[in-house]
Structure 1
Amino acid sequence: MHAVLIDVSAFNHGAGLVPQAGRDMWHRDFVKMPCSQGSLMAFKPRLLRPTAQVCRWDMISKQLKGLASKKEVSADDVAEAIMKYNPKYKGQWTFDALSSFVKCIPKEENYFCTLFPKIAALALKLPEQVKKAIPLLKRGHTAAITLSQVQISCLLANAFFSTFPHRNTSGPNAEYHGYPTINFTSLFGKWSERKKEKLRAIMHYFNVVTDEKTTPMGLVTFERRCLKDTDLPKWKSCKEKLTKLHVTSHGSIETEGTGMLQVDFASSWIGGGVLGSGLVQEEILFLINPELIVSRLFTEKLENTECLIITGSQQFSVYSGFGDSFKWAGPHRDHLDRDGWGRLKRQILAIDAMNFKHVQEQYNMSSVTRELNKAYCGFMGQEGNDPDIATGKWGCGVFNGDPQLKALIQLMAAARARRGLAFFTFGDEKLKQRLEQIYHLLVTEGITVEKLYRLLEDFCAAQRAHAVSRVDLFEFIRNDIRRSRSQL
Structure 2
Amino acid sequence: MERKNNRNDSSQMKDLIQFDNPENKEKEKPREENQENGKGSSPEPAASGSCCAKDACEASKSEPVRTRNGDVGSSCCRLDELKKLPQCDIRLGTLSFTKSHIILIDVNAFSHGGRVLPQEGRDLWHSNFVKMPCSQYSLSPKPDVQLGPLKFKTGSGPVPRWNLISKQLSALAAKKAAKVEEVEEAILNYNPKYRGEWSFDALANCLKMNPSFQNHFEKLFPKIAALALKLPEQVKKGIPLLQRHRPASITLSQEQISCLLANAFYCTFPHRNTTSSNAEYHNYPSINFSRLFGNWSERKNQKFMALLQYFNVVTDEKSKPDGLVTFERRCLSDADVPNWERCKDTLQKLHVTSQGSIEEEGTGMLQVDFAASWIGGGVLDSGLVQEEILFLMNPELIVSRLFTERLDDKECLIITGAQQYSCYSGFSDSFKWVGPYDDHLQRDEWRRLKRQILAIDALHFKHQREQYSMASVRRELNKAYCGFRGHYRDKEPDIATGKWGCGAFKGDKQLKAVIQLMAAAKARRGLAFFTFGDEDLSRDLQHIYHLLVTQNMTVGETKIFVEVAITTGKGPDLRARLLLVAQGLLKEDRPSGSPQELCV
Of 390, 393, 404, the residue aligned with 2:496 is: 390
Q: Which of the numbers 397, 400, 425 marks the counterpart of 1:292?
A: 397
Give the aligned residue type for 1:432: S
Indicate conservation of the 8 Å contact 1:315/1:334, yes or no.
yes
The answer as to whether partners of 2:355 and 2:530 remain within 8 angstroms in 1 is yes
* Alignment check: 8 A CA contact 1:125 1:154 kept: yes
SS of residue paired to 1:472: helix
Alpha-carbon distance, 1:475 to partner? 1.6
**Correspondence for 2:122 among 20, 23, 32:** 23
Is 308-317 or 39-48 further displaced after alignment?
39-48
Closer/same/farther in 2, CA of residues 435 and 39 from structure 1, 3 Å limit? same
Cα 1:247–1:470 change in 2 (3 A) is: closer
- Contact preservation (8 Å) 1:202, 1:290: yes
1:409 aligns with 2:515: yes
433 and 467 in structure 1: CA distance in 2 versus 1, 3 angstrom threshold: closer
AA at the equivalent of 1:397: G
- For the aligned residue pairs, the C-alpha RMSD in angstroms reads 1.4
**Deviations, residues 147-192 of structure 1 (Å, cap 9, x unaligned):** 0000000000000000000000111110000000000011100000
**Change in CA separation of 1:480 and 1:110 when aligned onto 2, cut-off 3 Å:** farther
CA distance in 2, matches of 1:310, 1:112: 29
Does the 8 Å contact 1:253/1:262 carry over to 2?
yes
Alignment equivalent of 2:532, drawn from 411, 426, 437? 426
What TM-score do the two structures reach when normalised by structure 2?
Answer: 0.79
**Is the partner of 1:111 in helix, strand or coil?**
helix
- Conserved 8 A contact 1:5-1:132: yes
Q: Distance in 1 between matches of 2:588 and 2:281?
A: 54
CA contact (8 A) 2:413 2:454 kept: yes
2:510–2:575 Cα contact (<8 Å) kept: no
Letter of the structure 1 residue corresponding to residue 240 of structure 2: P
Taking structure 1 as reference, are residues 369 and 470 closer, same or farther at Cα in structure 2, changes over 3 Å only?
closer
* Conserved 8 A contact 1:357-1:400: yes
Residue 368 of structure 1 pairs with residue 467 of structure 2: no
Give the deviation of 1:68 after TM superposition: 0.1
Q: Name the structure 1 match of 2:106.
A: 7
Report deviation, 1:358: 1.2
Q: Closer, same or farther in 2 for the Cα pair 1:48/1:114, shift >3 Å?
A: closer
Q: Deviations over 1:455-484 (max 9, x none)?
A: 12222222xx57986662432332442468
CA deviation map 1:401-445 (0-9, x unaligned):
111001000000000000010000011111111211111111111
1:248 to 323, 335, 353: 353
Measure how far apart 1:51 and its partner are.
4.2
2:311 aligned to which of 206, 225, 235? 206
What is the distance in 2 between the residues matched to 1:394 and 1:48? Answer: 56
1:89 maps onto 2:188 in alignment: no
Give 1:180-259 correspondences, 5 Å limit: 180-259=285-364
**C-alpha separation in 2, matches of 1:170 and 1:473:** 43
**What is the CA distance between 1:101 and its match in structure 2?**
0.6
State the secondary structure of the residue aligned to 2:220: helix
Counterpart in the other structure of 1:460:
566
Cα 1:39/1:158, change in 2 over 3 Å: same
Counterpart of 1:322 in structure 2 is 427
Larger RCO of the pair (alpha carbons < 8 Å, separation 6+): 2
SS of 1:441 mapped into structure 2: helix
CA distance in 2, matches of 1:192, 1:27: 38
Distance verdict in 2 for CA 1:184–1:48, change over 3 Å: closer
Question: Which moves more between the two structures, 146-155 or 449-458?
Answer: 449-458
Question: Would you say the 8 A contact 2:566–2:574 is kept in 1?
Answer: no
Determine helix, strand or coil for the equivalent of 1:164: coil
Describe the superposition over 1:51-110 as per-residue Cα deviations: whole angstroms up to 9, x where unpaired: 420100000000000000000101111010000000001111100000111111032675
Structure 2: distance between partners of 1:180 and 1:137: 12
The whole-number CA distance in structure 1 between the counterparts of 2:195 and 2:144 is: 18
Find the aligned partners of 1:426 and 1:96 in 2 and give their Cα distance. 35
* Residue segments in structure 1 that go unaligned for 5+ positions in a row: none
SS of 1:65's partner is helix
Contact 1:404-1:473 within 8 A present in 2 as well: no
| Cα separation, 2, equivalents of 1:191 and 1:433 | 41
Comparing 432-441 with 306-315, greater Cα deviation is found at 432-441
What is the deviation of 1:14?
Answer: 1.2
Aligned pairs, how many? 486
Distance 1:247 1:468 in 2: 25
Q: Is 1:378 aligned with 2:483?
A: yes
Q: Which amino acid aligns with 2:580?
A: F
The reply to whether residue 335 of structure 1 matches residue 434 of structure 2 is no
- Corresponding residue SS for 1:349: strand
CA separation of 1:71 and 1:268: change in aligned 2, threshold 3 A: same
CA–CA separation in structure 1 for the residues paired with 2:378 and 2:573: 34
Q: Does 1:164 align with 2:263?
A: no
Unmatched tracts of structure 2, length 5 or more:
1-99, 146-151, 593-600
Using the aligned pairs only, state the percent identity.
64
Task: Indicate if the aligned counterparts of 1:44 and 1:50 stay in contact, CA closer than 8 A.
Answer: no
- Code of the residue aligned with 1:296 in structure 2: it is R
Other structure's SS at 1:391 match: strand
| Matched AA of 2:384 | L
Structure (1 or 2) with the greater helix fraction: 1
**1:5·1:130 contact (CA, 8 Å) conserved in 2?**
yes
Distance 1:257 1:48, change over 3 A: closer
User: What letter corresponds to residue 469 of structure 2 in structure 1?
Assistant: N
CA distance in 2: counterparts of 1:484 and 1:60, whole angstroms:
76
Q: Matched residues in 1 for 2:388 and 2:473: separation? A: 25
What SS does the aligned partner of 1:158 have? helix
The answer to whether the Cα contact below 8 Å between 2:510 and 2:574 also exists between their aligned partners in 1 is no
Query: Given the superposition, is the C-alpha separation of residues 419 and 63 from structure 1 closer, same or farther in structure 2, using an over 3 Å criterion?
Result: same
Report Cα offsets for 1:111-143 as digits up to 9, x if no partner: 100000000000000000000000000001000
1:39–1:387 CA distance, 2 compared to 1 (3 A): same
Counterpart for residue 380 of structure 2: 275
Greater mean deviation of Cα atoms: 434-443 or 123-132: 434-443
CA distance in 2, matches of 1:162, 1:484: 67
Aligned partners of 2:144 and 2:153 also within 8 Å: no
Match of 2:239 in 1: 134
Taking a change above 3 Å as real, the CA distance of residues 110 and 213 of structure 1, as seen in their structure-2 partners, is: same
Q: TM-score, normalised by structure 1?
A: 0.97
Q: What is the alpha-carbon distance in structure 2 between the residues aligned to residue 484 and residue 354 of structure 1?
A: 38
Q: What is the letter of the counterpart of residue 111 of structure 1?
A: H
**Displacement, 1:487?**
3.1
- 2:504 counterpart letter in structure 1: V
Task: Report the Cα offset of residue 220 of structure 1.
Answer: 0.0
Q: Is the 8 A contact 1:389 1:419 kept in 2?
A: yes
Could you say which residue in structure 2 is the equivalent of 1:99? 204
1:486 match: 590
The amino acid of 2:516's aligned partner reads: Q
* Alignment-mate amino acid for residue 289 of structure 2: F
